[in-house]
Every structure is written in structure tokens, then in C-alpha cells.
Amino acid sequence: MTLPSRKKPPTTAPDTMAKKSLVDFGREWLDTLVVALSVAMAFRAYFYQPFNIPTGSMQPTLYGNHVQACEKPGILQKTPLKWLNWLLTGRDYKEVRAPFSGHLYVSPRGDGRFALAIVAPDGRRGPVVNLPNDALGQLPVSPGGRVQKGQRLFAGYDTTGDFIFVNRWLWNFRRPHTGEVMIFSTTGIAALQQGTHYIKRMKAAPGETYTLEHPVNGQAPVSVTMGPDEYFACGDNFNNSFDSRYWGAVPGRNLRGVASCVFWPIVNPRLGGIK
């Protein structure tokens, strides 16, 4: 007795199945990407949020955008080393020259930098260059002054401010402690630009009294006592910080979190935990 012959199963999938598999594969990757982005957004919103230090008000604890004058770039500014150097140090060499004769104009950006441009007598405007605020004192002429074509306006290293992680969950389990570096919203604080965030050190919590170590305008030391939901905030760089000494206490509802650690630039003496 002989058994009826059986056809061997196909060893390759039909084209329709192959196409379907590719579509499914793409959908799986898209689903994974959406989930990953959702997790990242939730992580940022509820746990740790990245934040860039724009100014030098928290020096020497944290550094904002700053410059270092230098006549010529070093060997690390040659391609491709310059990209690796920037990735590690956040430093980039800039040389700014006037594209034509005209007047120098600057405009603050509100993020620790200012915009610079040359405007010719006929109304032409040259490329806009962004530089840290401390470069303003190194310009060869004052804003509005006249410059000549080819005149060097700035040469040096532009270094980005520290990038930190803000711990957004810790204060849900305990009260803020005096001495911590806090991030807060400026919303509702009349003297400050609205809709942005500041970073300062907490000098006094609700119910605590703080004696101003560096009073404003040479006044005699004075003491301030915080209300039931008020926090006194000062920059570590007292001589270059616009803080609670000028505009008062920070309402508790404005607190966003405590500065946790510096994560970039990598080659940075401040890398790691913030004290």
C-alpha cells in the first residue's frame, strides 16, 4: 500500500505575506518609538527635567554662558577635532568681524546672551551673531558706535552654561530645606520676566529669618522673616545676582524642584552632584 504524495510546505513566504510583515515591523517600531517618547516626556515632567544655566548668578557653584578672549584658535578647533572638543567641553571658538562699515547694534535675548548685528547707512543688516552677555564688555565700541569693514569685534571661546537635572519629585515627599539650590517659575513675580525659570539658592524657608549677608546699595544688615509659604532666594554670586534682595520672596506655588546634578559639559570640574 502506498500513501498519497504530499506537497512540501513552501519554504518562502508569498510576496503578500512579506509585504505584510514589513508593514507590521514598521508599526512595531512606530509603537515602540511612541512609547519611548511618552516615557521620556513623563520622566521629564514628573521626575528629572533638564535645565540650562543661562547666566553667572550662581557662580562658582554653577556657570552660565561665558566667554574667554583668545587671539587665535587652538589645534582642537580644527575639524574634526572641534566637534569632539565641543561635545566634551561645550566650548566653541568664534571670531566676529564687521561684514561692512556701519553701526553696531545689540539686543538682549533674555537667556544670558545678546544678539549683535551691523547695520549699514543704507539700511542693510549683516548676519546676527549671538554671544554671552559678558562679551559685551569686550566689544571695541559701545552699542550704536561706528565700525569699519573687516574690523574685528570679538575673538575667543564661547562656552555654554552648565546643563543640570532638576529633581521634580523629591519635594513631594519632604519639605524644601534651606541651603538647597532651587528652580522656580517667575510667573506672578512682578519684577521678573514672566513665563521663565530662575535658579537660586534657598536662604530661608517658611517661618525662618534670614539676615542679608550682602545688603543692597551698602545699607546696614537687615533681617527678613518668611511668611507661611515664602522662600528667600539668592544667587551664590552676590555681586552679580538679581534675587530676593530686590524683588522679594518666592511663593511656594512657584517652586519647581531642586537642582540635582550637572550632566554636561562632560569635561567640567562641576560635573556630578550639586551642593
Residue spans per domain, the chain: 48-59+162-273, 66-159
Distance CA 232, CA 212 (A): 10
pLDDT tens-digit profile of 145-201? 999 999 999 999 999 999 999 999 999 999 999 999 999 999 999 999 899 999 999
Mean pLDDT of 251-269: 95
Q: Which three cell numbers stand for residue 68?
A: 574667554
10 Å Cβ neighbour count for 222?
11
Mean pLDDT check: name the lowest of 67-76, 173-182, 221-230.
Answer: 67-76
Peptide bond into 143 cis (omega under 30): no
212 or 28, which is more confident? Answer: 212
* 113-141 residue pLDDT tens: 999 999 999 999 999 999 999 999 999 99
Residue 34, pLDDT > 90, answer: no
CATH number for the domain running over 66-159: 2.40.50.100
- C-alpha distances (whole Å) from 74 to each of 82, 90, 113, 271 are 10, 15, 24, 24
Given CA atoms 160, 259, 216, 253 in this order, what sign does their dihedral have? positive
Domain spanning 48-59+162-273: which superfamily? Umud Fragment, subunit A (2.10.109.10)
**Is the entire prediction scored with pTM above 0.85?**
no
